[in-house]
């Protein structure tokens, strides 16, 4: 059953409202930035949860799930944030594309498309009278964490929503930083990264480097590393092995030029035709890839994640 077909009601009685989002499926960042008229359009969807108390317009947090799609933990996070008097929107990038999981193949649709979906949701929801268009943030997990960081990066966001619009804050949970803009500036946005040092999917050092690059452009970014924590340590479920997962955590970074052209790690030039599959196949053939990786929580980690999340959104959306 697709997420849009499910009925989701929080414990306090708040019911999720179906919302369609006009988005696109760019082949790569170059198409999204420099050839946007050629992007295939697609209508994705999600569920909007408006606070039961308070007076609109409400601040909003868009929740972008990871490679396994919408999980109970994402719904729980949306409910927790909603309890702060903040509207929440759970974004489903998978259903309309007929994708159920990307753990075995991340190239079923581009990472550029994932980031584009976040900004398309921002634009659509900002037009609603119940939402404060100046206080919209995004929280992404794993692949969704990568998407929200890219969505906050001005070289990408300016081409999609314009120079004056964007996310006020981003919480990126255990993101992949294997693709980074040469100019990673995030303007006036604020980024918080939460990641475990035992993550088998994404490189902690790579994400640290990405954060430092953002700082060097004047961006506001902080990163908390949870000792002993695995990927998806906020799920509050036992640690298990995802055998079909294809990961290459230590592969070289793919840098992205201002116009969106990606630079192949083994070539000293940008190429407008490069897509995710090209660089990921390279990573596997070069010996960086492996099958199987763990996800799940140790005792207390999910609660620590929740508390950090609450502090961040309470302050940023105050």
CATH number, position 267 = 3.40.50.1820
Between CA 258 and CA 100 the distance in angstroms is 32
Task: Band the pLDDT of 312: cuts 50, 70, 90.
Answer: very high
Between CA 74 and CA 10 the distance in angstroms is 12
pLDDT of residue 72: 97
The arithmetic mean of pLDDT across residues 199-221, rounded, is 98
Return phi, psi of residue 161, to 5°: -115, -5
The arithmetic mean of pLDDT across residues 173-201, rounded, is 98
Between CA 302 and CA 191 the distance in angstroms is 20
Radius of gyration from C-alpha coordinates of the chain: 18
- Mean residue pLDDT of the chain comes to 97
Task: Band the pLDDT of 199: cuts 50, 70, 90.
Answer: very high
pLDDT of residue 190: 98
pLDDT of residue 268: 87
The arithmetic mean of pLDDT across residues 186-195, rounded, is 98
The arithmetic mean of pLDDT across residues 241-270, rounded, is 96
The arithmetic mean of pLDDT across residues 268-275, rounded, is 96
Tell whether omega for the bond before 57 is within 30 degrees of 0, i.e. cis: yes
pLDDT digits (tens, 9 = 90+) for 10-34: 999 999 999 999 999 999 999 999 9
pLDDT digits (tens, 9 = 90+) for 84-143: 999 999 999 999 999 999 999 999 999 999 999 999 999 999 999 999 999 999 999 999
Q: In this model, does residue 1 exceed pLDDT 90?
A: no
Q: How many domains does the chain have?
A: 1
- 74: Cα within 13 Å, side-chain hemisphere: 28
pLDDT of residue 119: 98
pLDDT digits (tens, 9 = 90+) for 141-177: 999 999 999 999 999 999 999 998 999 999 999 999 9
Task: Band the pLDDT of 297: cuts 50, 70, 90.
Answer: very high
Between CA 165 and CA 152 the distance in angstroms is 10
Task: Band the pLDDT of 271: cuts 50, 70, 90.
Answer: very high
pLDDT of residue 24: 98
Question: What's this model's pTM, rounded to 2 decimal places?
Answer: 0.98
> Counting runs of H as helices and runs of E as strands, what totals does the chain give?
8, 14
Give the three-class secondary structure for 201: coil
Return phi, psi of residue 19, to 5°: -135, 130
Between CA 221 and CA 191 the distance in angstroms is 5
Domain that holds residue 248: 3-316
Task: Band the pLDDT of 76: cuts 50, 70, 90.
Answer: very high
pLDDT of residue 164: 86
The arithmetic mean of pLDDT across residues 244-271, rounded, is 96
- Show the DSSP H helices in 26-153 as ranges: 29-34, 72-82, 111-126, 143-152
């Amino acid at each position: 059953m697709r997420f849009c077909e499910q009925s989701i009601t929080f414990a306090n009685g708040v019911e999720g409202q179906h919302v369609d989002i006009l988005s696109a499926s760019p082949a790569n960042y170059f198409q999204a930035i420099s050839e946007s008229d050629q992007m295939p359009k697609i209508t994705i969807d999600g569920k909007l949860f408006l606070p039961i108390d308070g007076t609109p317009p409400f601040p909003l947090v868009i929740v972008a799930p990871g490679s396994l799609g919408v999980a109970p933990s994402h719904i729980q996070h949306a409910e927790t944030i909603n309890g702060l008097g903040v509207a929440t929107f759970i974004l489903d990038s998978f259903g309309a594309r007929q994708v159920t999981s990307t753990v075995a193949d991340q190239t079923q649709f581009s990472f550029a498309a994932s980031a584009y979906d976040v900004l398309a949701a921002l634009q659509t929801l900002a037009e609603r009278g119940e939402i404060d268009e100046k206080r919209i943030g995004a929280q992404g997990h794993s692949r969704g964490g990568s998407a929200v960081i890219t969505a906050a990066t001005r070289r990408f966001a300016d081409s999609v929503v314009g120079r004056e619009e964007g996310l006020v804050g981003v919480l990126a949970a255990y993101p992949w930083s294997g693709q980074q803009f040469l100019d990673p500036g995030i303007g006036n946005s604020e980024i918080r990264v939460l990641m475990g040092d035992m993550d088998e999917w994404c490189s902690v050092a790579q994400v640290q480097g990405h954060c430092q690059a953002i700082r060097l452009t004047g961006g506001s970014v902080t990163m908390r590393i949870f000792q002993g924590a695995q990927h998806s340590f906020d799920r509050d479920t036992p640690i298990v092995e995802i055998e079909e997962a294809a990961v290459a955590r230590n592969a070289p970074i793919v840098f992205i030029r201002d116009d969106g052209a990606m630079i192949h790690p083994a070539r000293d030039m940008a190429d407008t035709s490069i897509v995710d599959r090209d660089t990921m196949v390279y990573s596997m053939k070069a010996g960086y890839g492996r099958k199987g990786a763990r996800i799940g929580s140790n005792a207390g980690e999910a609660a620590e994640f929740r508390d950090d999340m609450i502090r961040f959104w309470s302050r940023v959306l105050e």
